């Protein structure tokens, strides 16, 4: 009898530990996810299909590209930035890597976008299609991005050649 009670208590304890571990794991957000790019909205925004099948907009962390608003005149180098982004990711599988804040106030996912070994956010900066945009607390790659922008600006690539842009 005593052994049966002890076995039952140990079983309950084991179940409790498993439930607690599962709850912790479920509450922990994934740091990255592989998705399919459905469409490129502009130079720093895409729409992706999540593993669940749901589509979500994604805003690239750490960069800002010239705007290409539908039905209005695009900003200088906007179409080129959009085309560069499309060439890198459209129709491909990419990995979204999240920083501290995962969504913005518009419901867009905020992510570093990787295609294989290429960090797309940085690649757009390096080729002069974007400027650095640091927004706390998502600044994990800030120094890396600043270096890429400085290289593009000094080499007068992309928008640094085509547009009247002042760099910091």
Residue ranges per domain, the chain? 32-162
59 is catalytic: yes
108 is catalytic: yes
> Does CATH place domain 32-162 in 2.40.50.90?
yes
Residue with the two structure tokens 């590209």: 65
Helix (H, G, I), strand (E, B) or coil at 130: coil
Lowest mean pLDDT among 3-7, 29-33, 94-98, 114-118: 3-7
* pTM score of the predicted model: 0.81
Q: Of 56, 59, 114, 153, which one is the catalytic site residue?
A: 59
Q: Of 67, 134, 146, 151, which one is the catalytic site residue?
A: 67
54 is catalytic: no
Whether the per-residue pLDDT at 26 is higher than 80: the answer is no
In total, the chain counts a number of residues equal to 168
Q: What is the pLDDT of residues 73-85, one digit of tens each?
A: 999 999 999 999 9
Residue, of 23 and 96, whose pLDDT is higher? 96
As beta bridge partners, residue 95 has: 34, 114
Q: Of 47, 49, 95, 108, which one is the catalytic site residue?
A: 108
């Amino acid at each position: 009898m005593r052994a049966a009670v002890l076995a039952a208590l140990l079983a309950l304890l084991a179940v409790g530990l498993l439930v607690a571990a599962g709850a912790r794991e479920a509450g922990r957000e994934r740091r990255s996810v592989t998705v399919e790019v459905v469409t490129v909205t502009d130079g720093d925004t895409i729409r992706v299909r999540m593993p669940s099948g749901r589509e979500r907009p994604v805003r690239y962390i750490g960069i800002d590209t010239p705007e290409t608003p539908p039905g209005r005149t695009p900003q200088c180098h906007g179409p080129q930035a959009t085309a560069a982004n499309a060439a890198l990711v459209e129709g491909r599988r990419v990995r979204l890597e999240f920083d501290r804040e995962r969504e913005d106030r518009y419901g867009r996912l905020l992510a570093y976008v990787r295609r294989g070994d290429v960090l797309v956010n940085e690649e757009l900066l390096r080729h002069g299609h974007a400027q650095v945009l640091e927004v706390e607390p998502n600044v994990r790659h800030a120094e890396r991005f600043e270096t890429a922008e400085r290289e593009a600006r000094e080499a007068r690539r992309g928008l640094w050649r085509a547009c009247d842009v002042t760099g910091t």
